[in-house]
Amino acid sequence: MEFFIESAWAEAPAPGGDLMSLIPLVLLFLVFYFLLIRPQTKRAKEHRKMIDALAKGDEIVTNGGLLGKIIELGENFVVIEIAPNIEVKLQRHAVAVVMPKGTIKTL
């Protein structure tokens, strides 16, 4: 069959080619780590610390944009008062920001 179609033979690998082919992958991983993974884990750690430090009477803003005052704390849930006699129960992880004291009164 070699008469009609010539066989294609692979070239010998270049010396040191294995190590040189891994360098771009390592560099790509380092870029992803420092630009994406590390900042995200740092933000998640700060958010977890903020959630653990929640206390009764703190004024918070939820991920949905509700502003309220914490009136009851549970292990997984908090109850906030968003207006007089209007209470909302939500997960602790739904708290986005702890506001300074007196924020509700200024609005």
Q: What is the CATH number of the domain that holds 60?
A: 2.30.30
**pLDDT at residue 15 in the model:** 65
pLDDT digits (tens, 9 = 90+) for 13-65: 666 667 778 888 999 999 999 999 999 999 999 999 999 999 999 999 999 99
In a domain, 1, yes or no: no
In a domain, 8, yes or no: no
Domain count, the chain: 2
CB atoms within 10 A of CB 66: 14
Same domain, 67 and 95: yes
CA distance 74 to 66: 19
Same domain, 64 and 44: no
In a domain, 30, yes or no: yes
Segments forming the whole domain that contains residue 46? 16-53
**pLDDT at residue 59 in the model:** 97
**pLDDT at residue 14 in the model:** 62
Same domain, 48 and 59: no
**pLDDT at residue 82 in the model:** 96
pLDDT digits (tens, 9 = 90+) for 75-100: 999 999 999 999 999 999 999 999 99
Burial class (CB within 10 angstroms; exposed 0-12, middle 13-18, buried 19+) of 30: exposed
